[in-house]
Amino acid sequence: MSDTFFSADSLLYHHHWDTNTITYSFYKSGPYYGSQTGVSEISEGTKDNIRSILETLEIYLDVDFREVADTATDYGLLRYMVSDGPGYAYAYLPNRSNTNSGWRSDVAGDVHINEAYDTTGNNGFADDPGNHGYMTLIHEIGHTLGLKHPNPYEDHDYGPFLPFNEDNTTNTVMSYNFAGKSAITPMTYDIQALQLIYGAREYNHGDTTYSFKSVYNYT
């Protein structure tokens, strides 16, 4: 990784998965190693959104996301479930290993969502891209891959931090400062940070021209 500070550095957590094949699964039933109760399977609509986000990330990152079966003894590094833990949603950051061993550290990479929002409408996680629930899934997946918040929104957040004028969702979905419409993909700083961790995949290599009329219509 670069030792030179630039905007992506404000998103880098000190742990990440040390592999370019990252498995994921959707909790089915059986034991769970965290402190949450009411753990259950998420809806098919939310599952489809998670798959779509991971497929988008594969465009930019030298990572293959592989869905695996979820059992009591074997499941993905990233694991998605409903529980009574979050008011809306939260995620656990990666640990130093790439294994699931039945210890409490197995919560690393887990995403919990509130059952009330595991649906469409009212900021639900099964809503189409362009809605708040979908952007929140991108945010939580960012945490599970090693991204932190760009400013001290919570007591455990640490620097370096983004300048105030850059701390918004037009630059990073990890921001709590919403600007424009809800993001439908990871934003520029998110992609830069994740490419520092996992490497970049060649995509549209060569002379490719992109344009937009307004940042507020396309974020």
Q: Catalytic residue, from 55, 140, 154, 202: name it.
A: 140
Nearest to 62 by CA among 186, 187, 200, 204: 200
Identify the helix (H) or strand (E) that includes residue 91: strand 89-91
Q: How far apart are CA 181 and CA 210, in angstroms?
A: 19
Q: Which residues contact 89 (CB under 8 A, 6 or more apart)?
A: 111, 112, 113, 114, 117, 125, 136, 137, 140
Q: Which residues contact 91 (CB under 8 A, 6 or more apart)?
A: 109, 110, 111, 112, 140, 141, 143, 144
- Evaluated on CA atoms 48, 189, 14, 159, the torsion sign reads negative
**Cα–Cα distances in angstroms (integers) from residue 170 to residues 31, 143, 150, 160, 216, in the given order:** 39, 18, 13, 19, 8
Q: What are phi and psi of 45, to 5 degrees?
A: -65, -40
Sheet holding 89-91, edge to edge: 64-67, 21-26, 78-83, 110-114, 89-91
β-strand partners of 125 = none
Q: Is 202 a catalytic residue?
A: no
Catalytic sites, residue numbers: 140
